Structure 1
Amino acid sequence: MSERIHRNRFRKVRGRRWLVLLVLAMSIVVLAGWTADVPPANEPRYHGDPVGRGAGIGLVSGENEYFIASGNCYGCHGIDTMGVVWANHDAQGRDVNVPDAWRSTMMGNSARDPFWLAKVSHEVTVNPDHAAVLEDRCTACHAPLGRHNKHMIGGGLYSVGDLAFDLLGQDGVSCMACHKQRPDSLGLSFSGDLHFEHDRIIYGPFDEVFTGAMQSFLNIEPRFGAHINQAALCGGCHTLITNTVDLDGELSGDHFVEQATYHEWLNSIYGNGSSPANAITCQGCHVPRTGDGIVLAALYDWLTPRSPFGEHHMAGANVFMLELLKNNLNELGLTASSTQFDTTIARTTRMLQQNTLIMETSIADRDADTAWIDVDLINLAGHRFPSGYPSRRAFIELLVLNEENDTLFQSGRWNGAYEVIGHDPEWEPHHDVITSPDQAQIYEMVMGDVNGNKTTVLERAKEPLKDNRLAPLGFTSTHYAYDTTGVFGVPIADVDWNRTEAGDEGSGADITHYHVPMSGYTGAIRIEARVWYQTAPPRWMEEMFDHNTPAIDTFRTLFQAADGTPVLVKESLLLDPSLAVDDLRELGVRIFPNPTTDGTLWIDGLDVRTVSVELRSITGALVSTYAPRGQRLYPIVLPDVPGTYLLVIRTRDRSFARRIVRP
């Protein structure tokens, strides 16, 4: 911020300071009769959500019998532009207000999500006799303020038709969907069976609660609730179990776990209690804490700053849908601006790329016939990856190039329709070893119906035909929650899926072994490995897009116009010149010691044919270069950083290389 801006801001603050002092002076009489907790009913410290922040639509305001909309919360918890001490800002002056962070998330748009609306329409079209129950169950989590209010007043089942005319339902997973949940039911009920306070009570994470403003303006009593920071608060919707029907729509008596993100967390080092030092709740990642003290109510400058403050980023992995929402603000009637969506998209991308996976690519061995390449993934998420809705998948792309950048081998690339090349007609099995370009490692859940055939109709799902999604650290088949977090389609022969070298469960890792045919090629190779993520793979959409309803047609149009490029999660680059070893022997050159513990490497046998010696990183970046000038014995000093390096010796007509290791 420039000095001029600072001065202008100072003048504005100084110019209104007399007004602030006058207001304070006039309030002395009022304050004399004001208790610590209850301000006068006409206290003016409140402002509404500015209009025009998205598609010209402000946040939903109003209330029904039991819930209040997010727009009513904006007055105190939204952006503060008037206070002498700005509320809802951190120590650096950064705006951290909750509604503006939330409104561009998938949670904030859950009831307007066109994919969700299309999928509900798909399910109802396939089984129209189940429409009332299906729509009621789906809205329990996507439109909770409308659906649960109707149940709490005894109004019966809630429908998508109700939602179309219910602004509080359209408010999505709004403030009260979390902050009004009762603590005594958490972790005990799932599948949208949420339990709310009937009294006008909400909960927050801080004790010594200032109750005055909410009681005055909203007639609500805020209370301290430790459960607001517990993972079980999320479990009511993020474990979802459905009833299975056959192809005639008749109940089979089976149940299907559509998603179990909460139970996956329970079966991990972050939630199972086996490692208290590693305990992290859902909120620890998705509502990240800042240690700065934050004044929680706009214009209440005198309130004590509270910390740690949970920033309502709610970033997950759904970059594709966030982009689609941003690009269709007006059509979908959304309240967030494109700038706010960009912020959430950036946070979501960072979550995927920085907090999801560790990836390591290595060459186990190589000869003139085959290169044995391993891609090792370790899951850092507190649940499986991918997790949640069954359409989501991640896949590995491996590309092997020769010295001329010609492709020697490829696996996991995608075509112009964003579908993985080589994908089997129904589903791609899990691979421990990949030997052909028509094989690809895809981490996903594939649902099967009562006949054992693949389906994307949730109500027809009986059991997974495949579920090889990466397990979280600490995940075991002996945990009590394993019955809702099972593994399917991973062969027993794959001894490194979620297992350590000692054979113990809980590594949270998987190694895919690529046996790449070299066909006699002995030159240097370049190995590029990437992990990609897709929310809505084209093949998964086909069954739904075979139907025509207004909701499906709308989403089909938006989907086909969207950029379906998979989102990059991780990538690695590796150069391997190892087959030049025999040529070095023919050249009469010896390199020792390798590995080198002290960082000094000796090259013996250089002669006048040597033009230069280069030390490079494993990715090919030049570290240092040497001109031996005829010395037969020459020292090379490696950097202090442990790792694998490449030593390249160049003659007038050839280059030779050797991998060097500094432990």
Structure 2
Amino acid sequence: MLDSFRFIRLCTPLALSIVAAACGNANPSSSGGTGGNTDPPIELPPPMGDIAPVNITATDRFATHSQCAQCHFGGPETTLLHDPAGNDISPVYLWRSSMMAFAARDPYYLAIFGEELLKQTNDKAFVETTCTRCHAPAGSVEHEQTGGHLTFDSLMSGDTPETNLGRDGVTCTLCHQIADENLGKTASFTGGFTIGYERKIYGPHLVPKVDPMQLIVNYTPTSAGHITTSEVCATCHTVVIPIMKNGKKQGDFLEQAPYLEWKNSTYSPGVPCGTCHMPTKDDNMVDLESPIAKWPDGLPPRKPFGKHRFSGGNAYMLRLLADNVAFTGSTVPSSELLEAADAAESHLAEGAAVSILTSSLEGETLAVVVSIENHTGHKLPTAYPGRRVWVHLRAEGSSGEVLFESGGFDASGALVDRAGKRLDVADAVMPHRDVIQSENEVQVYESIAKNAAGKPTHLPLESVGYLKDNRILPVGWSKSDQWIEWIGPVGVTGDLSFGAGLDLVEYRIPKGSAVKRVTVRLLYQTVRPTELEAIAKVPHPAAVRFSQMASGRSPLPTVMAEAAKDL
């Protein structure tokens, strides 16, 4: 077994696991499965080609980011739009290497999009409309006024105003034109934002200088307090998908709800999303202050000045994009994507704390109580259901030998025991744990969706609910919240130590008198290896291309927090 207590970046074992899965030769189940995979080999199509570039586009409502870059991109030729340390903090510079910019070109998203199209053959328009509304929003809105919609193929290769705007992802003129209509209400969820025709660019600053922007791009900068509220973020970070059967709606599936989770926390309303995801301080925690544009000369410094990096937890995908920039059709240097990935990992390190509360010997059993604290304003992890966080605990003897380990992983990022036996095989749901007594038990915080047959699924459009949702709740969580039927945990009944802001887990380690040191880490993973293995079997060109990319970079976890205790 790999020494998984080190942070590793090995790649080839995942490639082997993906090939094995695609060829129908995956290892027999190690957690109560039915044995070897006897499925016939899958015939896969050729991989999807590179995505078309985003060409400069302007319509009666939108413009691609290149228009904004004329004044809102710093670069090395100016000291404006830089922090005191010389870092470029210009909005377009930071945005262009963010997952917002690559929302429509994210290869994982495209693989799922393609698989949904294969599954939902009777209503491809529903799939395409749903999947592009928030990943290619400006293009989606443009198509609405003509009665059409973005298709998968047109989004990837078209050269119309709608397709170029779509490929520009969550672009500047989309977010900055969201009107203060129905924000925070259900009508605004799932891409229910409103974009007017007035060409008003909303920002937080009072008395903006309007002439330059009107002259250059024919937009009018407009002071508007709503643009910095969480309710703007909620329009695409609260996703409710109708559950359909025979063309009739049967209910709703809540795919993600960071906003509703935040509403049910002490962070609401005083600490909006942007406080963490668009910070207004530099690395020394000093307020940023800068002109918001490099032209015309003499603009006054403004604050707050929010960094448009939108750091979250998706360092893995940013590194995958850096490995495959040509695929995206982008000219963003790989170095900027790697810088954004580093920022995401630093961001994750601020999101949680882990500690060893107590340790006591009960006969030959060592009882260790571990505390996991959520320092975010939403569940941990949050948003898309593919993410997970787990506790990796290791007990060592006097010579550093491992006597007990829970939460180890191999070079593909899969959970294994010390003998290398795979624990998180396909369709296995690892239950929530209050007490862990053996090495094949792991505390994994995650949400696992289910389909109509009650089986785990990674496809949002076939999901009808959750088999498990034990993600750590934010501080201030209330069981009487108005949205509790949607956002309440699943599978934690009976665990009295699972509460607002933290969870306690007791580890009962045999032969405990020999243990001299206990170490514990909290690990974050963007996508489960089981999902990568499932996607590797999908006969869609986007899934094939994504699997090729993922075979070169395993989804190894990021360390969020760690602690140790000598006994």
TM superposition score category, shorter chain reference: 0.7 to 0.9
Q: How far apart, CA to CA, are the structure 2 residues paired with 1:418 and 1:81?
A: 39
For 1:36, the equivalent position in structure 2 comes to none
For 1:534, the equivalent position in structure 2 comes to 525
For 2:154, the equivalent position in structure 1 comes to 162
1:445 corresponds, among 426, 444, 447, to 447
- 1:74-93: per-residue Cα shift (whole Å, max 9, x none)? 0101115556xx43123444
- Could you say if the C-alpha distance between residues 324 and 87 of structure 1 is closer, same or farther in structure 2, counting changes exceeding 3 Å? same
Note the C-alpha offset of 1:244: 2.0
Q: How far apart, CA to CA, are the structure 2 residues paired with 1:415 and 1:58?
A: 37
Give the conservation status (yes or no) of the 8 Å contact 2:470–2:490.
yes
1:94 corresponds, among 63, 69, 87, to 87
Q: How far apart, CA to CA, are the structure 1 residues paired with 2:561 and 2:77?
A: 43
2:177 corresponds, among 174, 180, 186, to 180
- 1:133-169: per-residue Cα shift (whole Å, max 9, x none)? 1111111100011111111x23322222231212111
Note the C-alpha offset of 1:524: 4.9
Note the C-alpha offset of 1:251: 4.6
Answer yes or no: is 1:346 the counterpart of 2:327: no
For 1:327, the equivalent position in structure 2 comes to 323
1:557 corresponds, among 536, 541, 548, to 548
* Other structure's SS at 1:365 match: strand
Q: C-alpha root-mean-square deviation of aligned residues, in Å?
A: 2.0
2:536 corresponds, among 536, 545, 562, to 545
- Could you say if the C-alpha distance between residues 185 and 428 of structure 1 is closer, same or farther in structure 2, counting changes exceeding 3 Å? same
For 1:474, the equivalent position in structure 2 comes to 476
Q: How far apart, CA to CA, are the structure 2 residues paired with 1:343 and 1:539?
A: 28
TM-score of the two chains, using structure 1 as the length reference: 0.73
* Other structure's SS at 1:128 match: coil
Higher alpha-carbon deviation: 312-321 or 59-68 = 59-68
User: Residue type of the partner of 2:502?
Assistant: A
Matched residues, number: 499
- Could you say if the C-alpha distance between residues 292 and 426 of structure 1 is closer, same or farther in structure 2, counting changes exceeding 3 Å? closer
Q: Matches of residues 504-519 of structure 1 in structure 2 within 5 Å?
A: 506=500, 508-518=501-511
- Could you say if the C-alpha distance between residues 459 and 93 of structure 1 is closer, same or farther in structure 2, counting changes exceeding 3 Å? closer
User: Residue type of the partner of 1:244?
Assistant: I
Q: Matches of residues 54-65 of structure 1 in structure 2 within 5 Å?
A: 60-65=55-60
For 1:411, the equivalent position in structure 2 comes to 406
- 1:260-304: per-residue Cα shift (whole Å, max 9, x none)? 111111111011x5xxxxx21011111100324311221422111
Note the C-alpha offset of 1:335: 3.1
Note the C-alpha offset of 1:96: 1.2
Note the C-alpha offset of 1:60: 4.7
Note the C-alpha offset of 1:561: 1.2
Q: How far apart, CA to CA, are the structure 2 residues paired with 1:70 and 1:460?
A: 34
Q: How far apart, CA to CA, are the structure 2 residues paired with 1:88 and 1:264?
A: 34
For 2:300, the equivalent position in structure 1 comes to 304
Q: How far apart, CA to CA, are the structure 2 residues paired with 1:436 and 1:450?
A: 33
For 2:28, the equivalent position in structure 1 comes to none
Task: Look at both structures and tell me which one has the larger radius of gyration over its CA atoms.
Answer: 1
Q: How far apart, CA to CA, are the structure 1 residues paired with 2:244 and 2:388?
A: 25
User: Residue type of the partner of 1:220?
Assistant: Y
User: Residue type of the partner of 2:334?
Assistant: S
Give the conservation status (yes or no) of the 8 Å contact 2:411–2:556.
no
Note the C-alpha offset of 1:358: 1.4
1:267 corresponds, among 264, 267, 272, to 264
Note the C-alpha offset of 1:311: 1.1
Give the conservation status (yes or no) of the 8 Å contact 2:320–2:549.
yes
Give the conservation status (yes or no) of the 8 Å contact 1:58–1:71.
no
- 1:191-210: per-residue Cα shift (whole Å, max 9, x none)? 11221122211101101110
For 1:656, the equivalent position in structure 2 comes to none
Determine what percentage of the aligned residue pairs are the same residue: 30
Give the conservation status (yes or no) of the 8 Å contact 2:394–2:520.
yes
Answer yes or no: is 1:314 the counterpart of 2:313: no
Q: How far apart, CA to CA, are the structure 1 residues paired with 2:104 and 2:510?
A: 50
Give the conservation status (yes or no) of the 8 Å contact 1:448–1:461.
yes
Give the conservation status (yes or no) of the 8 Å contact 1:87–1:300.
no
- Could you say if the C-alpha distance between residues 203 and 362 of structure 1 is closer, same or farther in structure 2, counting changes exceeding 3 Å? same
For 1:284, the equivalent position in structure 2 comes to 275
Q: Matches of residues 64-103 of structure 1 in structure 2 within 5 Å?
A: 64-79=59-74, 86-103=79-96
Give the conservation status (yes or no) of the 8 Å contact 1:395–1:532.
yes
Give the conservation status (yes or no) of the 8 Å contact 1:396–1:531.
yes
Q: How far apart, CA to CA, are the structure 2 residues paired with 1:457 and 1:93?
A: 43
1:253 corresponds, among 250, 253, 268, to 250
Q: How far apart, CA to CA, are the structure 2 residues paired with 1:210 and 1:362?
A: 55
* Other structure's SS at 2:565 match: strand
Q: Matches of residues 102-501 of structure 1 in structure 2 within 5 Å?
A: 102-151=95-144, 153-164=145-156, 165=158, 166-188=163-185, 189-245=188-244, 251=248, 253-271=250-268, 273=269, 279-290=270-281, 291-353=287-349, 355-421=350-416, 422-423=423-424, 426-491=428-493, 493-498=494-499
Note the C-alpha offset of 1:95: 2.2
Q: Relative contact order: is structure 1 or structure 2 higher (C-alpha 8 Å, sep ≥ 6)?
A: 2
Note the C-alpha offset of 1:117: 0.6
Q: How far apart, CA to CA, are the structure 2 residues paired with 1:208 and 1:59?
A: 33
Q: How far apart, CA to CA, are the structure 2 residues paired with 1:74 and 1:59?
A: 14
TM-score of the two chains, using structure 2 as the length reference: 0.85
Q: How far apart, CA to CA, are the structure 2 residues paired with 1:318 and 1:473?
A: 23
Give the conservation status (yes or no) of the 8 Å contact 1:270–1:280.
yes
- Could you say if the C-alpha distance between residues 536 and 171 of structure 1 is closer, same or farther in structure 2, counting changes exceeding 3 Å? same
Note the C-alpha offset of 1:474: 0.6
Give the conservation status (yes or no) of the 8 Å contact 2:54–2:164.
no
- 1:319-361: per-residue Cα shift (whole Å, max 9, x none)? 11011000111232223212211221121111111x2001111
Note the C-alpha offset of 1:461: 1.1
* Other structure's SS at 1:289 match: coil
For 2:18, the equivalent position in structure 1 comes to none
- Structure with bigger strand share is 1
Q: How far apart, CA to CA, are the structure 1 residues paired with 2:346 and 2:211?
A: 38
Q: Which runs of 5+ in 2 are unaligned?
A: 1-49, 282-286, 417-422
User: Residue type of the partner of 2:520?
Assistant: A
- Could you say if the C-alpha distance between residues 263 and 66 of structure 1 is closer, same or farther in structure 2, counting changes exceeding 3 Å? same
Give the conservation status (yes or no) of the 8 Å contact 1:66–1:198.
yes
